[in-house]
Amino acid sequence: MSQITDHIYDAIIVGAGYGGLGQGAQLTKDGVDNYLILEGADELGGVWRDNDYPGAACDTQALIYCYSYFLNLGVSRMYAGRDEMLGYLKAMADEFDLHDKIKLNSRVDRAEWLDEENVWKFTTTGGDAYYGRSFVGGWGQLSKPKIPNFPNMDAFGGIMFHSAQWDHSVDLSGKKVAAIGNAASAVQFVPEVAKVAADLTVFQRSANYILPRNQIVFSEEEQQKFKENPDSYREIRQEIHDTREAGFERTRKGTEAAEEGVEQAIEHLRSQVNDPELVKKLTPTYAFGCKRILRSDEFYPTFNRENVHLETSAIESFTEKGIRTTDGVEHEFDVVIFGTGFYSQEFQGDLAIIGRGGTDLRDRWGNSPEAYLGMAVDGYPNMFILYGPNTNLNHHSVVAMLEAQNKYIRQAVEHLQQHPDQPLDVKAEVLRHFNDEIQQELEQSAFSADCSSWYKNEDGKVINNWSGNVAEYHALTETLNLVDYGVK
């Protein structure tokens, strides 16, 4: 007999970003109504809400960066801007009546498994408590901005902010600006900052492989056609999917496809940058695919501008007026922008997750998070993490992974609706076997090659990326296999 007098939800989803909203839509679509989405911020949207830096856009084709059951038919360009991406998520919330399911300003700081009740108890920073049979983690891998701890940062008298926390009150026109980092976020905001700043210095620690983006702007007629005949959209989506899946081969060590990728990227660089010295500095020295392969037509040409400089000497420390590099030069700046990425390996999010035996998931994992199918961890029954360990992609859209996860989790939620006394606690050996296999496959992958990347932990183990292609992941997650959870 349950001691809980509060309402028990079939599922509590933490986070109203791409994954969490997708989970809600999937449940609603399939007739599961008794769920709640708890969101810490005052608006839905996750990374598409937070990342509003100039030039912010989806670096993956919008036609595959949407759910198959809710196509982004109104999109105006192939690589959609941030506002359109956020607009898509809001439209999805409208379409599936998710607004009533979302509790904004409800930051969960603790989730605790109650073994006798077979439910999770969630507590918010505001002191509210909620109960759910299933727990779906939707905080993603890239939600917590990371600013490196450079020596003497406190002494700097200018303005500093992270790209995911852009300070729009700062007018960059006429300013001397530093951009630290040159990866996926920086390649988007650097060209925009260069247009207004008096002077821009980009600090590059290592170069990236950048492919042409070849933006396509859809005419009004094309947009209309997509809406009237979604199959025409689906056809293009399928073509992009096929090309992208084939591109997975490029992320495997030593393949011909990887060689072709290098050639394409270097040709792109040489065709866009005039100065041979700059070309040399912008040429990567590690395996193709070791870190995210970027797409931009604007980043390289920015370095042909007179007001833009590429700095490859390492940062030694901050000073009152700017940054000192290891070659002894002091660079003066009014504003420093950090495009330095995220705490991408905090798969347990910002909350304490207390499983069986009172173990905090953070302690259980240490620096080596792993989950069965990237979702389930033994000792944490009925908990499923979206975009969890080893589910990131380099070659395709992560939404393709989220959709598979949403469907898998929906099966779990339905099972638990019918059998609340049969918790789904993945067997430890199932998780171990799964992880051993993917780690073995990842040895052949460029993700495990030698470069600095957010895909690996400090021991060099790839903990962010999936080892295969999308089709393989879909096949593995299509059916919830109760035997994996010790339930017949």
- Residues of this chain that interact with ligand NAP (CB under 6 A) are 57-60, 142, 148, 180-186, 203, 205-206, 292, 315, 339-342, 452, 454
Of 326 and 452, the one with the shorter C-beta distance to ligand NAP is 452
DSSP 339: -
Q: How many Cα atoms within 13 Å fall on the side-chain side of residue 257? A: 15
> Quick one: 149 or 169, whose CB is closer to ligand NAP?
149
Specify the DSSP element, H or E, that contains 258. helix 256-272
H helices of 392-427, in order, are: 398-418
Sheet with 315-318: list strands edge to edge: 315-318, 322-325, 330-332
Q: Please provide residue 36's backbone torsions phi and psi, each rounded to the nearest 5 degrees.
A: -140, 145
Residue closer to ligand NAP by CB (options 245, 316) is: 316
- Beta carbons of 408 and 375 less than 8 angstroms apart: yes
What are the φ and ψ backbone dihedral angles of 158, each rounded to 5 degrees? Answer: -90, -160
For residues 138 and 386, the answer to whether their CB atoms sit within 8 Å is: yes
Shortest spacing between CB 314 and ligand NAP, in angstroms:
7
Closest approach of ligand NAP to the CB of residue 436, in Å:
26
CB-based contact 97:119 (threshold 8 Å): no
DSSP-derived 3-state class of residue 130: strand
Q: Which residue is nearest to ligand NAP (CB)?
A: 341
* Distance, CA of 298 to CA of 450 (rounded, Å): 27
Q: Give the shortest CB-94-to-ligand NAP separation in angstroms.
A: 23
Shorter beta-carbon distance to ligand NAP: residue 27 or 335: 335
Pick 313 or 422: Cβ nearer ligand NAP: 313
Q: CB of 350: closest distance to ligand NAP in angstroms?
A: 18
Which is nearer to ligand NAP, 345 or 382 (by Cβ)?
Answer: 345
CB of 465 to ligand NAP, least distance (A): 10
Q: How far is the CB of 277 from ligand NAP (least distance, A)?
A: 20
261 contact partners, CB below 8 Å, separation of at least 6? 209, 211, 250, 288, 289, 293
Residues pairing with 337 in the sheet: 161, 179
Shortest spacing between CB 56 and ligand NAP, in angstroms: 7
Please, which residue, 205 or 474, has the CB nearer to ligand NAP?
205
